[in-house]
Amino acid sequence: MKVAKRDPVIHGMLVEEQQRSREVLRALIAKAEELPKGALNIRRKQVQDKEYLYHYLVRREGQKVVNQHVAERDVSALQQQIAEREKCRAEIRVYKQRLVYLERLLR
């Protein structure tokens, strides 16, 4: 649909929404960077009829895969942080799509 002329009020609202979305995106990226990367894995070790569980945080650093041992007392906090990071990543995807949409509208 072609519009005869651009409405300055609507255009101003779209520009403000674009700026707000960029600020929110920057804040989400900064928040996600502070949270731990990777996934929580469990290793099972069988020693003399006893089974031991070891928790590891697995993440990638460049070409390397790094396994970092996690103490039992820190597991629940780490799971919450990983869930929070995934939630931030989902919101980042939504805001990136919104910015692309707004760019198209403002052309």
Instruction: Confirm if 79 and 33 have CB atoms less than 8 A apart.
Output: no
Q: What is the pLDDT of residues 20-73, one digit of tens each?
A: 999 999 999 999 999 999 999 999 989 888 999 999 999 999 999 999 999 999
Instruction: Confirm if 70 and 57 have CB atoms less than 8 A apart.
Output: yes
Is the pTM here over 0.85, yes or no?
no
User: How would DSSP label each residue in 7-68?
Assistant: -HHHHHHHHHHHHHHHHHHHHHHHHHHHSPPSEEEEEEEEETTEEEEEEEEEEEETTEEEEE
Q: What is the pLDDT of residues 67-93, one digit of tens each?
A: 999 999 999 999 999 999 999 999 999
